[in-house]
């Protein structure tokens, strides 16, 4: 590895290559609790596409694995280092290089934070909808790697729905520009779509072209429902779906999450708040009022103990802040093992009931937050620091939840990616034929498995 590091230092700026213990440790893993990781031999901080290509070429020449990294906010181990690898950080690539208001697209380097892209395009009257809860700290490159969703994806779609072009560095260091900037285009295979959600296993994304929507034309109203049980809240979710209503957001937070946020932020909670549903509609005028009233009625019919409406923008933002703060609030209580299961919307009540049963049987604390409008549930299993018995019980609960999700026709990951934590579940979900397709694609683009080995699909190493 000394030879590799010397070659990198000869090819790159002096500040690009780090081998000190603090940096190696900081960049060796993401935010996934309990996912395995090793210590990299070096971390390369790329400042542009030439740095990325040079790093990959040097790694390929020496047969060294490369693990790409954005902000390290992932929750599945997708950015975890393997021992002796090169971690290739894109966090310094933070330029939004183009905003085309006439054609409604923008080009951003992989290290641009989601929130920063949204702010930049807003100055041109445009909107980038995908809004993961980590939007203030997660990068566009990382969002592409996992096909991130977010609070408004129930109506406006996920990352894949907005990515129309990519520049990627392939396993041999060559550069491929994929996609288009036109409104339509079907020339060749959809290679852009293939790379979205590939978790850095097929190539390293260095910039992203995203389509945008007009910023205006929306009038937000929030409907807040407090429920005495998770199951009642789940029934309300299913009822909204059955009524054919597509809210711009429909989020669930259980009592454990609410109390963690309230204690952290000094908020007061009503007694009946064992589960909270936050719905949002953004249609204007009478149509918006009609939809808000319909959701309010469905919440009440499903057992909402207290249902309110809010239209003041500051109040709407405050309510949804509780959802965005839920995960960091829970992290203050101890290590969190995060699930990312997605079930059919009609199965949400049953899945929530099964999660509660798993918590009781395994003897663990499970908090629940969810993008309930599209069935994407995030059970968060909390185990005290240093309690190995609790950690073992948490792992049992994790596996049970995955099995229950699959039994209800669901998928093991809705937006966090497979990474390392979901490999066993993916092995159950993907048929041998489909696994063979994955292997064939990986072999075609990365025949020596040097790019993020062992991630994204079983037998990926």
Between the two ends of the chain, the Cα-to-Cα distance in Å is 20
- Write the DSSP symbol of residue 139: B
Stated pTM of the model: 0.94
pLDDT digits (tens, 9 = 90+) for 30-77: 999 789 999 999 999 999 999 999 999 999 999 999 999 999 999 999
Looking at residue 53, what is its pLDDT? Answer: 98
Using the structure block, give the residue that is written with the tokens 């590091």.
5
CA-CA-CA-CA torsion sign (11, 16, 19, 20): positive
pLDDT digits (tens, 9 = 90+) for 417-457: 999 999 999 999 999 999 999 999 999 999 999 999 999 99
On whether the CB atoms of residues 355 and 52 are closer than 8 A, the answer is no
pLDDT mean over 165-179: 98
Q: Under DSSP, is residue 187 helix (H, G, I), strand (E, B) or coil?
A: coil
Residue 460, pLDDT above cutoff 60: no
Looking at residue 461, what is its pLDDT? Answer: 45
Average pLDDT of the chain to the nearest whole number: 94
- Read off the pLDDT band of 318 (50, 70, 90): confident
Residue 403: which residues within 8 A CB-CB, separation 6 or more?
none
pLDDT digits (tens, 9 = 90+) for 109-159: 999 999 999 999 999 999 999 999 899 999 999 999 999 999 999 999 999
Residue 319, pLDDT above cutoff 80: no
On whether the CB atoms of residues 57 and 174 are closer than 8 A, the answer is no
pLDDT digits (tens, 9 = 90+) for 332-387: 888 889 999 999 999 999 999 999 999 999 999 999 999 999 999 999 999 888 88
- Read off the pLDDT band of 272 (50, 70, 90): low
**Cα–Cα nearest to 165, from 179, 186, 155, 177:** 179
**How many degrees, rounded to 5, is the angle at CA 43 between CA 439 and CA 28?**
70
pLDDT mean over 191-210: 98
pLDDT digits (tens, 9 = 90+) for 216-257: 889 999 999 999 999 999 999 999 999 999 999 999 999 999
Using the structure block, give the residue that is written with the tokens 């994304």.
205
On whether the CB atoms of residues 422 and 76 are closer than 8 A, the answer is yes
- Read off the pLDDT band of 270 (50, 70, 90): low
Looking at residue 271, what is its pLDDT? Answer: 63
Residue 277, pLDDT above cutoff 70: yes
Domains and CATH numbers, the chain: 2-89 (3.30.43.10), 96-214 (3.30.465.10), 217-323 (3.30.70.2190), 334-416 (3.30.70.2740)
């Amino acid at each position: 590895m000394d030879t590799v590091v010397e070659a990198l230092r000869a090819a790159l700026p002096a500040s690009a290559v780090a081998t000190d213990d603090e940096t190696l440790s900081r960049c060796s893993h993401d935010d996934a609790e309990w996912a395995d990781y090793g210590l990299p031999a070096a971390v390369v901080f790329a400042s542009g596409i030439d740095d990325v290509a040079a790093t990959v070429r040097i790694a390929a020449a020496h047969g060294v694995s490369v693990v790409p990294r954005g902000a390290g906010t992932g929750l599945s181990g997708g950015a975890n280092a393997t021992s002796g690898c090169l971690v290739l950080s894109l966090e310094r690539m933070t330029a939004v290089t183009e905003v085309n208001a006439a054609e409604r697209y923008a080009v951003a380097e992989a290290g641009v934070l989601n929130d920063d892209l949204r702010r930049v395009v807003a100055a041109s009257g445009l909107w980038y909808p995908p809004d993961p809860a980590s939007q203030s700290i997660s990068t566009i490159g990382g969002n592409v790697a996992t096909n991130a969703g977010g609070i408004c994806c129930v109506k406006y779609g996920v990352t894949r729905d907005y990515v129309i072009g990519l520049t990627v560095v392939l396993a041999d260091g060559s550069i491929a520009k994929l996609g288009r900037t036109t409104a339509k285009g079907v020339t060749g295979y959809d290679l852009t779509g293939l790379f979205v959600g590939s978790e850095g296993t097929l190539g390293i994304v260095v910039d992203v072209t995203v389509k945008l929507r007009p910023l205006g034309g929306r009038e937000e109203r929030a409907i807040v429902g407090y429920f005495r049980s998770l199951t009642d809240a789940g029934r309300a979710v299913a009822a909204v779906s059955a009524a054919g209503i597509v809210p711009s957001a429909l989020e669930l937070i259980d009592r454990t999450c609410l109390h963690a946020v309230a204690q952290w932020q000094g908020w007061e909670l009503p007694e009946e708040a064992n589960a909270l549903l936050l719905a949002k509609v953004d249609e204007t005028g009478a149509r918006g009022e009609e939809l808000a009233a319909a959701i309010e009625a469905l919440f009440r019919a499903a057992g909402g103990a207290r249902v309110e409406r809010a239209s003041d923008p500051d109040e709407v933002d405050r309510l949804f802040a509780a959802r965005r703060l839920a995960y960091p609030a829970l992290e203050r209580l101890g290590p969190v093992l995060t699930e990312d299961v997605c079930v059919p919307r009609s199965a949400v009540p049953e899945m929530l009931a099964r999660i509660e049963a798993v918590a009781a049987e395994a003897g663990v604390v499970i908090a629940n937050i969810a993008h309930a409008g599209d069935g994407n549930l995030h059970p968060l299993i909390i185990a005290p620091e240093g309690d190995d018995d609790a950690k073992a019980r948490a792992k049992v609960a994790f596996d049970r939840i995955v099995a229950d999700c699959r039994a209800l026709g669901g998928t093991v990951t809705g937006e966090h990616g497979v990474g390392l934590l979901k490999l066993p579940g993916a092995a159950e979900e993907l048929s041998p034929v489909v696994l063979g397709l994955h292997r064939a694609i990986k072999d075609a683009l990365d025949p020596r498995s040097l790019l993020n080995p062992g991630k994204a699909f079983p037998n990926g190493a």
